[in-house]
Amino acid sequence: MSYFITGTDTNVGKTLISCALMHGFAAMGKRVAGMKPVAAGCNDDGNYDDVLQLRAASNVSASGEQINPYCFTPAVAPHLAAQLAGVIINIARISETFLELAAQADEVVVEGAGGLLVPLNAVQDSSELMRKLGLPVILVVGMRLGCLNHALLTVEAIAARGLTLAGWVANVVDADMEMLDQNITALELRINAPLLGVVPFQLQPDARDVATLLNLHLLEPIKQHD
C-alpha cells in the first residue's frame, strides 16, 4: 500500500507528516520510500529540503531522480516554475518513476506540492496525478484560523474527483489557535475518514517523535487502481 500526501495549503506540514508516516511504516517492518514528484524552490545545487528529509526517512536505496523527478529553483507554483525552466511536467513520467520505487518498497509515501488542485501543467493538476498513480490520499490539515473551510473544501474535491480519502492528520501550525479542540471535533464530525493523529505545535518537530502520535492501524487496506 502506498499513499499520496496532500495538504489544505502550502506550509501545513506535509513533509513532516510524510516523514512521520515513513518512520511509522518502517517501525512496522516495512520497506519504505519517499517521493516528491515536483519541487519548486531548490537551491543552486539542485537540492530541496523536503526531498532531503524524505530521502533520510527512506530505508530503501533510490536515486535522486526517482525521489524527485522535477526540481525547479524558483519558489513559485509548479507549473510556473516549469514554464520558467522551459519544461512541461509530464504526469506519465512521474507515474513511471513511481512504479520504479514501488518495485523496491512495500510503502511509497508521495508528497504533493501545495494543495489538491495546484496546477502541474497547462491542463492537469495534482488531483490528476493522484488519480494516475491510483493512490489513496492522506490529508494534512494545518490547524489555524480558516482551516475548517480549507479542509472541508479539499475533502469535497477529493470525493468529487473519485479519489479515496484514507485518513487525515491535524497538524497544529498556529500555537495560539483559539478553540483548537473544538475545531478538531468539528472536522471529525464532518470528515468521513479516520483522524490518524493530532500533532501539537513544535518549533523544531522531529518526524520520529511525530510518528508515535499517528495511529497507522486506522489505515484500512484499500485496493489501488491503475
Convert the pLDDT of each residue in 119-155 to its tens digit: 999 999 999 999 999 999 999 999 999 999 999 999 9
Q: Is the pTM of this model over 0.75?
A: yes
Q: How confident is the model at residue 45 (pLDDT cuts 50, 70, 90)?
A: low
Topology of domain 3-218, per CATH? Rossmann fold (3.40.50)
- Whether the Cβ atoms of residue 138 and residue 215 lie closer than 8 Å to each other: no
Q: Is the pLDDT of residue 107 over 50?
A: yes
Contacts of 187-192 with CB under 8 Å at 24 or more apart are: 187/141, 187/148, 187/151, 187/152, 190/152, 190/155, 191/151, 191/152, 191/155, 191/165, 192/165
pLDDT confidence of residue 183: 98
Show me where the domains of the chain are located: 3-218
Query: Active-site residue among 30, 36, 132, 223?
Result: 36
Helix ranges restricted to H, 143-179:
147-160
Q: How confident is the model at residue 77 (pLDDT cuts 50, 70, 90)?
A: very high
Q: Is residue 36 annotated as part of the catalytic site, yes or no?
A: yes
- Whether the Cβ atoms of residue 44 and residue 73 lie closer than 8 Å to each other: yes
